[in-house]
Amino acid sequence: MRAAWGAGGVGSIAGTSARFSMTTIRTSLAQHVEQGLYLSPAFLRGLEVLQLDAGALVAEIDAECARNELLRIVPRRSDLVGDPERRAAALAAAEDRPIDLLAHVRREVGLLDVVEELRGKVLALAEHLDERGYLDGDRLRLAQIVGESALDDALDVLHELPPRGLGARDAVDAMLLQVDPKDPDRPAIEQILRRHLDALAAGRRDEVAKALEVERDELDALITKIRSLDPAPGRRFATPHRAPVRPDLAVAVAGGRIVVTVGDGAVPELAIDRRIADLVGAHGVPRERRRELAGKLRAARSLMRAVSQRQETLQRVGAAVFATQREFLRSGRPHIKRLRMGELAESLGFHASTVSRAVAGKTVWTPHGLVLLREFFEDAGRGPSRAERDALVTALKELLATSSRRTDAELAVELARRGLTVARRTVAKYRALLGATRSQRGTEVPETCS
């Protein structure tokens, strides 16, 4: 996706700065999003924990235990597969390597198959990213850095690096860069972000639904999508931190079977101190103390659930990734099969943002050493290429022209016979973009996706 840096266009803020610039919104957009979308503490906790690597999660657990006397750590031995001595040596060698935003961009650009000149232009732009991941400067200034003729291509590459949203002009731009341009919900999401955050913050959901001409449950679904968007994607790199030295996953081949384990040994088990928890309902304990302990009990349970969900999600993602990596496991990095994050998410029944968070910063111990889980994916969030989308749309139009009453599953099978393997939900999305539903009996298909 290309965000416009001149007048007009999805990414342009220039012509509407009076309404949408961060200096004129009454509070920061991030605060609006949190208030307006009613993000529950448990939901936020789950997102935070899922995105942490094992080392950061252990630090978070230690900090929470220090301030919450109801939490106890139950140590357990590591159950990661693989040679423990070799793994320990590799982890020791991985210490003290700082990762900041610019270093992250350099690493990600290094994984791309782009010409060296364009790679240099992207890195030149990256040097002007602020701590939120926004580009500092207008189009004229950026063109002076990389040249007018190369600016759009360099921005395209920067915008598609993980985490999506880097190189945006502001928070709205960053969030919109994370939405698939082919997503039929994108126009409504943009309207919410640009026009209706104040109304949502004030609890006027019915008013927003009416303005968007959607039902209340449809608005709720849009809000759920927006919850997954990060208004400041560079902020996770704002403070340099140590590279993870505790593997989040390990994979090995045993008896011809691929075995994936979550690094549970690196993450301590948590338990609730029942003696203190029982004071919540005990007679003779001051009300204020009981109220304080009740809040800490909720926080403890929330963290325990979030850690459990993180481990389960990471296990499922890891198993799905390495089910496709037998050649890598046998022969090493040159044989990595890079996967599409969106397709893997669909196969697991996850939102793509869930897989992105599960992968972010995570490491896996393999027969060939410590590897970033991110390396097993193509450019995160890129989705199908233009050629692939065009081929899919053309084939779908042809099939719908012969019969618009086929189910999405039937269309997916027929597309697979033509060499276009896509999930049923992908068919449904593109069918919606074409304006055709199963109930339509005509054969004419609108040219909305050409």
How far does CA 82 lie from the centroid of its chain? 29
Q: Which residues pair with 71 in a beta bridge?
A: 272
Identify the three-state secondary structure at position 118.
helix
For 401, half-sphere exposure in the C-beta direction (CA atoms, 13 angstrom radius) is 9
124-164 pLDDT per residue, tens: 999 889 888 999 778 888 888 888 988 999 999 999 888 88
Annotate 247-313 with DSSP letters as a single string: -SEEEEEETTEEEEEE-GGGS-EEEE-HHHHGGGG-TTS-HHHHHHHHHHHHHHHHHHHHHHHHHHH
- Say if residue 206 is in the same domain as residue 303: no
Of 364, 276, 279, the residue nearest 325 (C-alpha): 364
CA 39-129-111 angle, to 5 degrees, is 90
Please tell me whether the peptide bond between 84 and the residue prior to it is cis, using omega within 30 degrees of 0. no
Whole-number Å distance between alpha carbons of 33 and 31: 5
Domain final residue, candidates 241, 261, 289: 241
**Which residue, of 209, 241, 273, is where some domain finishes?**
241
Task: Find residue 374's DSSP bridge partners.
Answer: none
Q: Tell me, yes or no, whether 399 lies in a domain.
A: yes
Does the CA dihedral 366-369-372-376 come out positive or negative?
A: negative
Q: 237 with 321, same domain? A: no
∠ CA 389-393-396, rounded to 5°: 140
At 23 the pLDDT is 34
Distance between CA atoms of 254 and 200, rounded to whole angstroms?
Answer: 53
The answer on 399 and 369 residing in a single domain is no
30 and 124 in one domain? yes
Asked whether residue 446 is domain-assigned, the answer is no
Residue 212, phi then psi, degrees to nearest 5: -85, -10
| 331 and 261 co-located in one domain | yes
| 272 and 412 both lie in a single domain | no
Give me the residue label for tokens 């080392």: 55
Answer yes or no: is 68 within a domain. Answer: no
Q: 144 and 5: one domain?
A: yes
Is 362 a domain residue? yes
The strand ranges marked E within 197-351 are: 241-242, 249-254, 257-262, 269-272
d(CA 2, CA 43): 31
Q: Is the Cα dihedral 188, 189, 195, 200 positive or negative?
A: positive
Starting at the edge strand found earlier in the chain, the sheet holding 249-254 runs: 257-262, 249-254, 363-366, 369-372
End-to-end Cα distance, the chain: 16
CA 20 to chain centre: 25
Other CB atoms within 10 A of residue 249 CB? 25
Continuous H helices in 403-439: 408-417, 424-434
Asked if the structure places residue 195 within a domain, the reply is: yes
152 lies in some domain: yes
Among the listed residues 166, 125, 158, the one whose alpha carbon sits nearest the alpha carbon of residue 143: 125
Domain boundary among 376, 398, 417: 376
Nearest to 158 by CA among 116, 117, 108, 113: 108
Task: Judge if 125 and 16 occupy the same domain.
Answer: yes
Residue 26 shares a structural domain with residue 153: yes
3-30 tens-digit pLDDT: 444 333 333 333 333 333 333 333 434 4
H or E element in which residue 370 lies = strand 369-372
User: How many structural domains comprise the chain?
Assistant: 3
Residues 298 and 362 in one domain: yes
Kindly state whether residues 123 and 219 are assigned to the same domain.
Answer: yes
Kindly give the confidence (pLDDT) of every residue in the chain, 450 residues in length, as a single tens digit, with 9 standing for 90 and above: 444 443 333 333 333 333 333 333 334 344 444 444 445 667 777 878 888 888 888 888 888 888 888 888 876 554 445 555 554 554 444 444 445 788 888 878 876 767 888 888 998 999 889 888 999 778 888 888 888 988 999 999 999 888 889 999 999 999 999 998 888 899 999 999 999 988 888 889 999 999 999 898 889 889 988 988 888 888 877 654 444 457 889 999 888 899 998 865 668 888 998 888 888 888 888 888 888 889 999 999 999 999 999 999 999 999 999 999 999 999 888 888 989 888 899 999 988 888 888 898 888 888 888 888 988 987 544 445 556 677 778 888 888 888 767 888 788 888 877 777 777 767 777 777 776 444 333 333 333 333
Report if residue 439 sits inside a domain: no
Cα distance between residue 170 and residue 191, in whole Å: 16
Q: Would you give the DSSP letter of residue 196?
A: S
Domain extent, residue 139, equals 1-39+99-241
DSSP 235: G
Residues 190 and 138 in one domain: yes
Asked whether residue 10 is assigned to any structural domain, the reply reads: yes
**Are 166 and 159 a contacting pair, CB within 8 Å?**
yes
DSSP output for 14-79 = GGGHHHHSTTTSSS-HHHHHHHHTT--HHHHHHHHHHHS-HHHHHHHHHHHHHH-TTEEEE-----
Radius of gyration of the chain (CA): 24
Q: Percentages helix, strand, coil for the chain, rounded to the nearest 5? A: 55, 10, 35
Q: What is the pTM of this model?
A: 0.48
- Angle 131-104-375 (CA atoms, 0-180°, nearest 5)? 145
Find tokens 């099978």 and name the residue: 413
pLDDT at position 137 is: 75
